[in-house]
Chain A
Amino acid sequence: MVECGRHLNIELLTLAEVEGISGKEGNFQVKVRQKPRVVDMDKCIACNLCAEKCPKKVPDEFNEGLDKRKSAYIKYGQTVPLKYAIEMETCIYFVKGGNKGVKGKGKCRACEKVCPTGAIDFDQDFQDEIKEINVGSVILTPGFKPFDPSAFDVYAYSKFNDVVTSMEYERLLSSNGPCMGHLTRPSDGKEPKKIAWLQCVGSRNINKCDNGYCSSVCCMYAIKQALVTAEHTTGEVDQAVFYMDIRTHGKEFEKYYEQAQEKGIRFIPSRIHTAYPGSEGGVSVEYFNDQTGERVKEDFDMLVLSVGLETSKGSIDLAGKLGVELDKYNFAQSSSFAPGTTNIPGIYASGSFQNPMDIPQSVTEASSAAASASVALSSQRGSLTQERTFPQEKDVSAEEPRVGVFVCSCGINIAGTIDVKELTEYAKGLSNVVFVENNLFSCSQDTQVLIRDKIKEHNLNRVVVAACTPRTHEPLFRETMKDAGLNEYLFEMANIRNQNSWVHGKEPEKALEKSKDQVRMAVAKASMLEPLEYLSVNVNQSALVVGGGISGMVTALGLADQGYETILMEKAHKLGGNAWNLATTWRGEQIRPYLEDLISKVENHSAIKVYKNADIKANKGSVGDFVSEIDVAGEIKAIRYGIAVVCTGGQEYKPDEYLYGQDDRVFTHLEFDKEMSEHKPALEKAKGAVFIQCAGSREPERPYCSRVCCTHTMHSAVELKNANPKMPVYVLYRDIRTYGAREDLYREARELGVVFIRYNPDNKPRVSREGDDLVVVVRDHVLFRDVEIRPDYLVLASAIVPAEHKNLVELYKCGLNSDGFLQEAHAKLRPVDMSVDGMFLAGLCHYPKSIDECISQAQAAVSRASTILSRSVMPLDSIKSYVTENCDGCAICVDTCPYGAIALTDYERDGGMHKKIETNKALCKGCGICEATCPKQGVYVHGFTNEQLRAQLLAALENV
């Protein structure tokens, strides 16, 4: 969020609503209604005084109404932009006047009086502002609304205080929620010791106008909440999850589920029909024990309803205004082959407005939408972007340090606790300090001018600002440094607000002592700061895509459509990969025509070079300029490219159980698809089919869920039933994982009479042959006895296994997870980036997924890659490692660098050969593990050298 707020080319319009849209792709006119914030954004410094003084308390919607906030407020601590707002609907001044939306007539105006910067002025007219914006593309990300269970008496949500929704529970657990992180239950403030989660509240149910689809995320969040609960309560706590199917189909999710089971969280397969009052407060529920078949009544201190996700009324209205078509569940309608597009060219949808989805999927879809949105605009790229210019930088490297210290009062945020006058006087006595000044607000625009002038007037060459946190304000002051002609790295902050006055409000004297130490430490470090070089790498604006399946082709086409020369390599003799073996998507769209069209577009695109029978042999270089050797059908070629996208895919696992390979009536999914299309008449005469789920998945040697097999089985089962409604079809499963709208297929299969039998992994189905018959025996979970089935087809929903990545891992130093899938840089926040800069991934090499998800991820990779490829020069952060003269090549650090940025080289000195290391600035991320490893101070990180850290340390301990 902070990055978004700070980005020069992102304009934030808060409190705004789209009124209407006209024009077409490439040239939309959007009419936006922006409500008044009342607080002047340029003046507000988020000091919280207005909220402190505001007498009007209203329920805090961020904490789900569990506690109160004021009418003058920010929604939560990390709000971006960090500016307060006054809610006209509740503010006494406006409400008393009876005149919502315009000048109020109430008397209060307390916030106006107390605001130290004059950001609040009630003497003006406040009216909604209508803005017309001209844009080329529109992306809709209105998010979701949690399902409201209050109308459903079965959950007794409205009846009992101790029945809460999962969103409310999340706030109860949160350290900045109403309980400050120490869980208590709403009815009596007691710490709950027994908590139950009810899954699928408002999902997978069409009984009472709730939603037919699966909300996809609730199983994971319930498991998370159950696990986290233990950390927010004291002593033993009992957590039970009542579920229909546990759906942990995401990457690393199944492991998390197993971990929860190991930690003793109870998972009970039962849908609770009614909640009764408990014996001592709390709630009582009734269910059937699936092991014994007995009816059980159990008391819980709290009940958490795992509510589903749905589209809000506002989002539906928005879609209506824009003419965007929604599906029957009110999610944006799109095709599997063009995820994120809507019926209107140039308008895209992303996130939970498309489907209920989790964070990694949302981030992926968001990047994907950005890619789609920018293709049409690529010819105009860069035409409206802004950059700042600065005066020539002064060389101060030979000068003695002359430190200027600016002590911020931050209104009374700092000055209210810390005696800033004394701190200012104290700073004057520190060595190297030649100028000290106290500002009311060091971050204000006029103070920036003042700091710049003082730097010039006093010939300062190092600056310390004692104020808030460098994490939010360092960029601002660094700009001011550059404005004053100084290197921006000659700057240091002392965090006397977030890490002092705000957290030591009751101990002003000790806070003052601490602030002196903080300033002394900052000055000590500042005195040792050196100007740093501004680094950049030249970007070869072309790409390599490894793997020519659907993901690889979509990536290559996306990059080429953006105008980048792209090499697509495929190890087989033709493009297409697994898609050749798939008939339809889960939505029923035919894959073959799409595939053939895609291949022809790729092969005929002037910016794409396709190499078949190709394999990477060698690689060096790094982001911006990779240099590789590839073997193309026996011929070695050298290629150069700026980024690489890995789409090496995966394949179907060949099972080694259930008589697979020993009986030709036993198929895998892909084999059965082929059988169905080639021998259709046989289907009609067949006397039955059995599907066994999780063949090779969720097993000790392959502990992950293969995600797509349940949906595939539903699809095949429905097809069988449609071909021959009389044919008995059985699905032997552990949990059915038809997430999202795929749930419809599951429901359809049940309606068509497919029989579902849940088996236990400790007692798997047994397959044998008796005479000519194939015999499947399974223990039925309802009848509690073995059932024998003699089918003509036995279909194994076999796992998806990743491609072999050993070579790739060695050449690019990228990572694999324990299941052999390629590792993304961050599971949630950077799902298509790899930890190696300039490398991205998409498709099955990352994790099993459906075609639409592969295409989204491929488009996301295009978007992420464009952030590098769009510029011929990529600026790098200057905080990088560098080799000092002490290095003598012992090479211990080489292996410790997580980014492979260190290499050993030979050089000549005084007539002898010696060794030392070299660091690659493009690969280095400045983590400094090398610095901590080196036993002789041979490698440092700029701005964080041992001497600089030591200077801070010694300053901290000066008075001890």
Chain B
Amino acid sequence: MTKVTVAEEWLNACAGCEIAILNVGDVLVDLLVNNLEFVHIPVILDKKYFGQTGEEKELSIPEAVVGIVSGGVRNEEHKEVLLEMRKKCQILIALGTCATNGGIPAMINMYTDEELKKFYYKDSPTTDPADYPTEHIPPLLDQCYAVDQLVNVDLYLPGCPPHPDWIAGAVLALLEGKTDYKMPEKSVCDACPTIRESKKGLADIKRMLASPLYDPDKPLNEMRCLLEQGLLCLGPVTGVGCGGHNGAPRCISARVPCRGCYGPVRKGAKPLVDYMGALASVGFDPNNMPDRRGYLARFAGAHGVLKRPVGGRNG
């Protein structure tokens, strides 16, 4: 039987998503025997874009049935690779929150290129000041994009990193010929077993690093909701899934509040507005939250959610 071909690329990314693919583990190993073949995955299998010795003139990626892309799109190189992937692959998967929503790197959308370079090459306290490089660096795009802002995406698997359950689920569904695989459109709260009593009195917000009240010997379902404990948990506006198919949310399991790594609950949702509106309804003053744009859109700054501030207002 012919194997289904898969091509994988990483753009503005950290390789965590690729490790998540490997973390699928046994299921993946079994599939690789008969069903799947990675024809292109530069993170794992060495592959040069212009031929192994640079002999080719054109960027080449082999054709594949399934294409997987991790990372957002920040420079001309990312864009070129992405367009090539879209051309060569029948079904394109955006893997990880960088690909689906811009991810952490999209926080750069709050700053100008000049601010970026100045900080990166000159002002950063851990860097020896140096001149800006002029060669071997692909030109930057005007902002960090999510993949679907430039090409059509067939399937979204957000997460930082995505839980292997969903990767395996998507691959198995595709092998069965189903192309409508979708993450659940619910929030982290749906999988969170903590006790909810009352959200009144949220006026006093604790620092994120403060420890909540809980008994380490007792299970999660005996701990009070972290938001109700005054920690600004992003669970209510973050897509569910970090715990896999049936697991509890990962950060909550570690007794720390959700940071929002799965991005918005559904496409087009505005966690910034949604959450500030909701919290204001229970008496929280949004002005008490420094850098609320950066905080609430930490993983979802693409799609125009984060923009350079016009005028002097701190976001």
A residues near B, CB below 8 A?
A: 886, 888-896, 904, 910-915, 929, 932-936
Contacts and interface: CB of A to CB of B under 8 A. Distances in A.
Contacts of B237: 935-936
A935 B278 contact: yes
B280 to A, nearest CB: 9
B113 interface: no
A935 B190 CA distance: 13
Given A894-B199, A911-B246, A888 B281 contact: no
B246 A935 contact: no
Contacts of B193: 913
Contacts of B279: 892
A904 B196 CA distance: 8
B275 interface: yes
A892 B282 contact: yes
A893 B278 CA distance: 8
Interface stretch (B104-112, B149-157, B181-189): B181-189
B187 A936 contact: yes
A894 B197 CA distance: 9
Given A896-B282, A935-B236, A935-B271, A915 B199 contact: no
B282 A888 contact: no
A888 B277 contact: no
Given A913-B193, A935-B275, A936-B269, A890 B281 contact: no
B47 interface: no
B271 to A, nearest CB: 7
A895 to B, nearest CB: 5
A915 B193 CA distance: 8
Interface of B: 185-187, 189-191, 193, 196, 198-200, 225, 227, 235-237, 240, 246, 265-266, 269, 271, 274-275, 277-279, 281-282
11 contacts: A890-B189, A891-B196, A891-B199, A895-B198, A912-B191, A914-B191, A933-B277, A933-B278, A935-B265, A935-B271, A935-B278
Contacts of A893: 281
A890 B246 contact: no
A540 to B, nearest CB: 30
Most buried by B among A888, A911, A915: A888
Nearest to B274: A935
A893 B199 CA distance: 9
Most buried by B among A910, A912, A929: A912
Contact of B236 (A890, A929, A932): A890
A891 B187 CA distance: 12
Given A911-B246, A912-B191, A936-B187, 16 more contacts: A886-B265, A888-B189, A888-B190, A889-B190, A889-B196, A890-B227, A892-B281, A904-B196, A913-B193, A915-B189, A933-B277, A935-B236, A935-B278, A936-B186, A936-B265, A936-B269
Contacts of B185: 886
Contacts of A886: 185-186, 265
A898 to B, nearest CB: 11
Nearest to A916: B190
A888 B199 contact: no
Most buried by B among A893, A914, A933, A936: A936
Given A892-B279, A936-B269, A914 B199 contact: no
A234 B185 CA distance: 56
A891 B271 CA distance: 16
A910 B278 CA distance: 28
Contacts of A910: 246
B196 A932 contact: no
B278 A934 contact: yes
Contacts of B266: 936
A934 B237 CA distance: 10
A913 B220 CA distance: 13
Contacts of B271: 935
Contacts of A911: 246
A889 B240 CA distance: 13
Contacts, number: 73
A896 B281 contact: yes
B257 to A, nearest CB: 13
Nearest to A933: B281
A895 B266 CA distance: 25
A707 B279 CA distance: 42
Given A895-B199, A936-B274, A888 B187 contact: yes
Given A915-B196, A936-B274, A895 B282 contact: yes
A-B residue pairs, 5 tightest by C-beta: A888-B190, A935-B274, A890-B236, A890-B189, A933-B281
A29 to B, nearest CB: 59
A461 to B, nearest CB: 29
Contacts of B187: 888, 890, 935-936
A897 to B, nearest CB: 10
Contact of B240 (A888, A915, A929, A935): A888
A934 B280 CA distance: 11
Most buried by B among A893, A932, A933: A933
Nearest to A930: B281
A754 B235 CA distance: 72
A886 B274 CA distance: 14
A910 B240 CA distance: 15
Most buried by B among A892, A896, A914, A915: A892
Contacts of A915: 189-190, 196
Given A888-B187, A913-B193, A929-B281, A894 B274 contact: no
Contacts of A929: 281
Nearest to B186: A888
Nearest to A906: B193
A896 B284 CA distance: 12
A912 B246 contact: yes
A588 B190 CA distance: 68
Nearest to A891: B196
A674 B170 CA distance: 87
Contacts of B190: 888-889, 914-915
Contacts of A895: 198-200, 282
A697 B227 CA distance: 43
A281 to B, nearest CB: 52
Contacts of A888: 186-187, 189-190, 240
B236 A936 contact: yes
B288 to A, nearest CB: 17
A594 to B, nearest CB: 46
B281 A932 contact: yes
Contacts of A932: 277, 281
Contacts of B225: 891
Most buried by A among B199, B227, B266: B199
Contacts of B227: 890
Nearest to B221: A913
Contacts of A890: 187, 189, 196, 227, 235-236
B274 to A, nearest CB: 4
A915 B191 CA distance: 9
A902 to B, nearest CB: 12
A570 B289 CA distance: 50
Contacts of B274: 935-936
B186 A892 contact: no
A114 B115 CA distance: 74
Contacts of A894: 196, 198-199
Contacts of A936: 186-187, 236-237, 265-266, 269, 274
B199 A935 contact: no
A907 to B, nearest CB: 11
A736 B198 CA distance: 47
Contacts of B277: 932-933, 935
A896 B279 CA distance: 10
B199 A892 contact: yes
A892 B278 contact: yes
Contacts of A912: 191, 246
A888 B265 CA distance: 11
